[in-house]
Structure 1
Amino acid sequence: MVKLSVIVPFYNVQQYAPDTLRSLRANARDDYEFILVDDCSRDGTPGILERAERELPGAVVVRHERNGGLATARNTGLDRARGEYVTFLDGDDWLAPGYYDQLVARMDDLGCDFLRTDHVQCTARARSVHRVPHGRRDVVLDPRAAILPADRST
């Protein structure tokens, strides 16, 4: 059984895709699948994804015939996902080795269906930590209590 489905939309990100794919390789497990959605890229991204499909364990590439945008690409991935858990990563992002193992372990330990995590935003040499809106850690919350007003960032 597939434990985790990772959906990664790609659109004209040939400059960043190798780092993204390298970080996925450092997170690969036999029970993870990586659904790489090419949203009709017009640069070198399709070739990079073809190679990844051969070299990244659990990877499958899905190609759009027309560019549909981020939400459409994510929905395409959701249609293909078989995992107990699902997560998204953008085609120009990367993860630390073992990141997904930690997420899956926390989900299993807490017995919850959804996790929010902090993330680091990198712009040139600047790094900034973006914390989750609710600062409590390792606590399962009522989902309705954690829904933010539309004007607040999640």
Structure 2
Amino acid sequence: MRLTDVLISIVIPAYNYAKTLPRAVNSVLAQLGDAQAELLVIDDGSTDATPQVLEQLLTEHAGSFRALRKPNGGLSSVRNRGIEEARGQYLIFLDADDEMAPGALAALTRHISSHPDSRLIIGGHWSVFDDGRRVQHAVKPLPATPRQRVRGYLLDKTVSLSNGACAMHREVFAPGNYPEHLRNVEDIPVFAQVLARFPCTVLDQPLALIYKHGDSMRHDLKQSLAAGVGMVDEVFSSARMPQELQDLRQAFLAQRCLSLFRDCYSAGDYVNAKAFYARAVRANLRSLTRWSYTRKAIRLLFK
């Protein structure tokens, strides 16, 4: 297929997910015929059996999808490579331990046809837990203005985005791709720039099954500390965030410090926890009114 023939590209980054990769791949292949779509799997230098599993899948489904392998560089580098290699107008980044929900591609195709100007389509999803429990998350209506959308996403947590449950037009990466120096929270700068600069719509249908597990990069304290508050600079870089929204930076800095405080507190790293809480208060005195955090900070006085 030529670039213009492909409407949607599904990119699956894979790093040491040999066990769950077939589930993710098959969930996409089962519905490729419902849309002008392609599947691309990128192995980020896996050290487990992922290369062998991928080779077997390519044999079983010859000609149905593409795959490539690259040296390990982290999730941002895989997604950026996917942007380069994908031929579709819209991209979905589906994690290798998740699934595309049945009917997702057909629903997205209909939605794009009726909302051709949309550059970010936000769908619902199912959360799947280790005990087999499933919880459906319906998508909420989007606020009307870019300011309200960005504030809802970064500060108020009223706008929720999950990879696999949204589709982005390739135009949205013009202000910036995924920051490769961040090994987690790398999607926040990209989602924020899209909400700030591009037309967005919602599709009230589950697009993905997202499996929840404790070893997620989101729960990696080492990587969270490495990203630190520098992530705030990335989100509010002039290329990504319009000048008229730069006034939200200080409040987001406080929010980021509170998040790092919580992570450090939970991990027993009380020295860093105290430092991040103090910085949050310096950035925004209203942090003192966030009682769930303030109670923990008071407990730190006795540790």
Q: TM-score, normalised by structure 2?
A: 0.45
Question: Which of 117, 120, 140 lines up with 2:123 in the alignment?
Answer: 117
The counterpart of 1:47, out of the listed 46, 52, 58, is: 52
**Partners in 1 of 2:92 and 2:144 — Cα distance?**
19
CA gap of 1:110–1:56, structure 2 versus 1, over 3 A, is farther
Pick closer, same or farther for the CA change 1:146–1:104 going to 2, 3 Å.
farther
* Distance of aligned partners of 1:129 and 1:97 in 2 relative to their CA distance in 1, 3 Å threshold: closer
CA distance in 1, matches of 2:145, 2:103: 28
Deviation at 1:144, TM superposition (A): 5.0
Which amino acid is 1:16 matched to?
T
For 2:127 and 2:9, the matched residues in 1 are separated by: 23
Alpha-carbon distance in structure 2 between the residues aligned to 1:94 and 1:85: 18
1:144/1:109 Cα in 2 relative to 1: closer, same or farther (>3 Å)?
A: farther
Correspondent of 2:133 among 126, 132, 141: 126
Structure 1 residue 82, shift from structure 2 partner: 1.2
Highest relative contact order (Cα 8 Å, sep 6+), 1 or 2? 1
Of residues 69, 84, 90 in structure 1, which corresponds to 2:95? Answer: 90
Structure 1 unaligned regions, length at least 5: none
Please report how far the alpha carbon of residue 35 of structure 1 lies from its aligned counterpart in structure 2 after TM superposition: 1.2
Equivalent of 1:14, from 14, 18, 22?
A: 18
Q: Give yes or no for contact 1:7–1:88 (8 Å, CA) kept in 2.
A: yes
Aligned equivalents of 1:141, 1:52: Cα separation in 2: 44
CA shift, 1:142, in A, is: 4.9
Question: Contact 1:39/1:73 (CA < 8 Å) preserved in 2?
Answer: yes
Q: Which amino acid aligns with 1:126?
A: R
% identity of equivalent residues: 30
1:2-35: CA deviation from partner (whole Å, max 9, x where unpaired): 1111111001111111111110111213731111
SS at 2:51 equivalent = helix
CA gap 1:57/1:117 in 2 versus in 1, 3 angstroms: farther
Aligned to 1:3: 7
Computed over aligned residues only, the root mean square deviation of the Cα atoms, in angstroms, reads: 2.3
Q: Is the 8 A contact 2:143 2:149 kept in 1?
A: no
In the alignment, residue 146 of structure 1 is paired with which amino acid?
R
Q: Offset at 1:58?
A: 4.1
Count of aligned residue pairs for this structure pair: 149
Alignment check: 8 A CA contact 1:17 1:91 kept:
yes
Q: Is the 8 A contact 1:32 1:58 kept in 2?
A: no
**Are 2:67 and 1:61 aligned?**
yes
After TM superposition, give the deviation of residue 36 of structure 1 in Å.
0.4
- Answer yes or no: is 1:102 the counterpart of 2:107: yes
Tell me the secondary structure at the aligned position of residue 116 of structure 1.
strand
Q: Using structure 1 for the length normalisation, give the TM-score.
A: 0.84
Write the distance in 2 (CA, Å) between the matches of 1:57 and 1:41.
23
Paired amino acid for 2:121: L
Whether contact under 8 Å (2:15, 2:46) holds in the other structure is yes
Mean Cα deviation higher: 72-81 or 123-132:
123-132
